[in-house]
Amino acid sequence: MSVFYSIRILLDLKYTENHIEYLFQKCIENNMHLYKDAFENICELDSSDSTARILAIELEPEERRVYVKFQDTDFSIAVYKEKTNLLKFSISGFGIMWRKEFINDHYDIDFARYIRLLLRVCRSFTILELKTGAF
């Protein structure tokens, strides 16, 4: 059985086009490569293309994501509007994921490494909530 991992972050930032684009600018500044497709990494997206993809109403909600290549891992980013009109984003859909062996000899996803990466991206924002999950 497959396990689906995710990390969700709620920011003290209004859900606006400018704030979404700024979030993607920070991803790019942290050497993330953004794409519209997980398998065809042909055309790299800039922050405005990534924002347009998130806001594209003609796409199904599950298609409104941006795929990321970073070093030796890949994942997708989705951005959501919280009920309070705040910006929430998640990373999930890990292809090649960072793993490590834990003290109990269990080998699993290295959430701490992904969280450190996201904290670098969110350095300019106030984080209200950070949650990890395995489903």
Cα–Cα nearest to 11, from 110, 111, 94, 80: 80
Categorize the per-residue pLDDT at 126 as very low, low, confident or very high, splitting at 50, 70 and 90: very high
Host H or E run for residue 99? strand 99-101
| Domain ranges (residues) in the chain | 5-134
pLDDT single digits (tens) 56-104: 999 998 889 999 999 989 999 999 999 999 999 999 988 878 888 878 7
Angle at 14 between CA 10 and CA 15, to 5 degrees: 85
Q: Give the CATH fold of the 5-134 domain.
A: TATA-Binding Protein (3.30.310)
pTM: 0.89
Q: Give how far Cα 27 sits from Cα of 23, 67, 93, 95, 119, Å.
A: 6, 11, 17, 18, 11
Alpha carbons 76 and 91: distance in angstroms, whole number? 5
Distance CA 91, CA 115 (A): 10
pLDDT in tens, 12-40: 999 999 999 999 999 999 999 999 887 77
Tokens (6 digits) for 24: 């993607």
